[in-house]
A and B are shown apart, each in its own frame.
Chain A
Amino acid sequence: MTSADPHILFEDVSVGYGDRLVQRDLNFSIGRSEIFAIMGPSGCGKSTLMRSAIGLLKPFTGRILYAEESFWDADRERQQILMRSFGVMYQNGALWSSMSLAENIMLPLTEFAGLTGDHAMEIASLKLAFVGLAGFEDYYPSEISGGMRKRAAIARAMALDPETLFLDEPSAGLDPISSRLLDELVVNLRDSLGTTVVIVSHELYSILGICDNSVFLDTETSTMLASGNPRLLRDECENRQVRQFLTRGGQ
């Protein structure tokens, strides 16, 4: 399956840790300004694949292309520049615990956008307001709830207005309302800034509700079973396992 305007292209990618292969023969593409889900049962290698996509873990084989440029064939400096076009929200937020929320967001702004302290502070407040955390600038990550930490982590991921936003299990552990607000936030971001969003998830509500496209990774065969629009996959996919996943085992 190829999107009309592929932004990220996976070509014969296999990923794993150490000697252990987790996923192989992955071929799919993510279109520009698409909300894309990497889904599959727990432990199938979704997060591992994401680590390869954001430049933390070299794939065993294959190429990952960003706008036709292969990330892992580029030299170190070019990789650093590409990485700056990613915004990443890690599974547990990964906010820097020794810094306040505002400082967390200001660090990339002062480092890379060359903003001065006051200006960076204003932008940080704005980003926190986007995620509904206005007024929490001076709080430390340990002083706020898990859901708030996730939202603050998204605010940090958005700090540099990235071209691609990677979200690792954004709504895991959130209550239904917060989880919906988060989904709305993602859709808004895409609509207003044209960001490509890659979501690693097994939350059906989010996947079926907001994702335009998806890929399904399987644990047993260690490869992808299907890709395409998740709603179409739910109704029409030939693979029984994928249909079962998307209907909570209903079919």
Chain B
Amino acid sequence: MSAAQLRLNHPEAGILQIQMSGSWTLASDLPSTNAAEQAVQGAQGLSRLCFETGNLENWDSGLVNVVYKLARHARHADVALDLSGLPKGLRDLLELAETVAPHQESSEHHPDSAFFAEVGEEAVAFVRSVVDILRFVGGVAVSMGRMLTGRARYRASDLFVILQQVGAQALPIVSLISLLVGLILAFVGAVQLEQFGGDIYIANLVGLGMVRDMGAMMTGVIMAGRTGAAYAAEIGTMTVNEEVDALRTMGISPIDFLVVPRILALILMMPLLTLYADLMGILGGALVGTTLFDIGVYEYFRQTRSAIDLFDIFGGMFKGLVYGAIVAVSGCLRGMECGRSSAAVGVATTSAVVTGIVFIVVACAVLTVVYNVLDI
């Protein structure tokens, strides 16, 4: 097997003969074709392009590709093409590649847009997306109303399955994270408080921190990553599989059937999970306080009880409820908006988590200010 070679000949004036020999396969080292391409493209007075392949050994797409390129250049430069020097199989393949004319992209499909046009379009798209969110929230509110009056169509068994998924099955991860957050709060506080001999106030710090904010916030973030993403992926996949369309054509509102039970489940479960997270966080703090710092178990819990009251607990649970609604709505919204490809499901899932967490933090800030003003 000899190496592939390419030679340009000019047997007569105005005729370019390209001589190819050796083994022209993709796996072998192919010679550069720049010179040949330039000879075809830039040649003055060239009238005919032909090929000579007498010493060609074996060939595959590597050769077809070169000839295809040259043929296109030749056509572009109005040079007559003489393919008779090529092997018959190659001529057939070339014909196959040229039967269907290349697709002409219509200009309206991908319009060239200027910078300002793009900015404008983005702005319009943003406004549209806000309108979509409002419309969705409105639709959900109407459906919730229907559900409260017993007229929404959903299956009770679905609701129970979802309740179990977002409630009981979330306990292990919520336990772990809350316990650790309690531990961390205790450590951070203890280092400072120890300097003033106020070790016992670790209990106040952890208790108040968990109950008022961190319990709800951490549970919300966990649920955004766990349940919000699951909602978006489930509903998104159903959109891709046309299952949502199938509900619609049956005259069943997808919001009643898919969204309402999911939102309801999170709204019911989040306050309970928050309460549980509070407890686990306090246990985590107690673990640090009683083992590493010299505080008695009973003392620690008495101090915690004196630090928090029922308002703190209910305030935290209410925050949890709000976060639950946010996570559920953003998950379901992104799922319903999902495009019609598997990549779109990934986008929807990511977007659900991001939207959920952003709005949780915003809601936390707003609620904290409101609580302060109301002196709760």
Residues of A within 8 A of B242 (CB): 90-92, 94
**Identity of the chain A residue whose Cβ is nearest the Cβ of B243 in the assembled complex:** A94
Contact call B241/A56, Cβ cutoff below 8 A: no
Question: With A97-B238, A111-B153 known to touch, is A56 a contact of B251 (CB < 8 Å)?
Answer: no
A185 at the interface (CB under 8 A from B): no
Contact call B249/A88, Cβ cutoff below 8 A: yes
B250 at the interface (CB under 8 A from A): yes
CA distance A20 to B110 in the complex (A): 11
Residues of A within 8 A of B8 (CB): none
A133 at the interface (CB under 8 A from B): no
Contact call A56/B249, Cβ cutoff below 8 A: yes
Contact call B241/A97, Cβ cutoff below 8 A: yes
Number of interface residues of A (CB under 8 A): 25
CA distance A92 to B342 in the complex (A): 14
Q: Which of B237, B238, B243, B252 is in CB contact (< 8 Å) with A111? A: B252
CA distance A112 to B241 in the complex (A): 23
Residues of A within 8 A of B52 (CB): none
Main secondary structure of the interface of A (DSSP, over half): mixed
**Identity of the chain A residue whose Cβ is nearest the Cβ of B245 in the assembled complex:** A56
**Identity of the chain A residue whose Cβ is nearest the Cβ of B251 in the assembled complex:** A80
Main secondary structure of the interface of B (DSSP, over half): helix
Contact call A111/B250, Cβ cutoff below 8 A: yes
**Contact size class for B?**
10 to 19
Question: With A98-B158, A111-B153 known to touch, is A54 a contact of B241 (CB < 8 Å)?
Answer: no
A207 at the interface (CB under 8 A from B): no
**Identity of the chain A residue whose Cβ is nearest the Cβ of B252 in the assembled complex:** A111
CA distance A54 to B249 in the complex (A): 7
Contact call B250/A84, Cβ cutoff below 8 A: yes
Which chain A residues numbered 38 to 73 have a C-beta less than 8 Å away from chain B? 51, 54-56
Contact call A56/B246, Cβ cutoff below 8 A: no
B248 at the interface (CB under 8 A from A): yes
Contact call A94/B250, Cβ cutoff below 8 A: no
A205 at the interface (CB under 8 A from B): no
Which chain B residues numbered 92 to 114 have a C-beta less than 8 Å away from chain A? 109
Which chain A residues numbered 78 to 114 have a C-beta less than 8 Å away from chain B? 80-81, 83-84, 86, 88, 90-98, 107-108, 111-112
CA distance A91 to B241 in the complex (A): 9
CA distance A97 to B109 in the complex (A): 36
Contact call B252/A95, Cβ cutoff below 8 A: no
Which chain B residues numbered 153 to 169 have a C-beta less than 8 Å away from chain A? 153, 158, 161
Residues of A within 8 A of B158 (CB): 98
Residues of A within 8 A of B243 (CB): 94-97
CA distance A14 to B109 in the complex (A): 18
Which chain A residues numbered 188 to 209 have a C-beta less than 8 Å away from chain B? none
CA distance A56 to B244 in the complex (A): 11
Q: Which of A55, A80, A92 is in CB contact (< 8 Å) with B241? A: A92
Chain A nearest CB, measured from B362 CB (Å): 31
Residue interface mask B166-187, A partner, CB < 8 A = 1:
0000000000000000000000
Which chain B residues numbered 284 to 341 have a C-beta less than 8 Å away from chain A? none
Residues of A within 8 A of B252 (CB): 107, 111
Chain B nearest CB, measured from A117 CB (Å): 12
Chain A nearest CB, measured from B151 CB (Å): 12
Residues of A within 8 A of B241 (CB): 92-94, 97
Contact call A107/B250, Cβ cutoff below 8 A: yes
14 residue pairs bridging A and B, Cβ less than 8 Å apart: A54-B249, A56-B245, A83-B251, A84-B250, A86-B249, A90-B245, A91-B242, A94-B241, A95-B246, A96-B247, A97-B237, A97-B243, A111-B250, A112-B251
Beyond contacts A54-B249, A88-B246, A108-B250: 6 other A-B pairs, Cβ-Cβ < 8 A, are A51-B245, A92-B241, A95-B243, A111-B153, A111-B250, A112-B250
B residues apposed to A, CB below 8 Å = 109, 153, 158, 161, 237-238, 241-243, 245-252
**CB-CB nearest 7 A-B residue pairs:** A94-B242, A90-B242, A94-B246, A80-B251, A88-B249, A94-B243, A108-B250
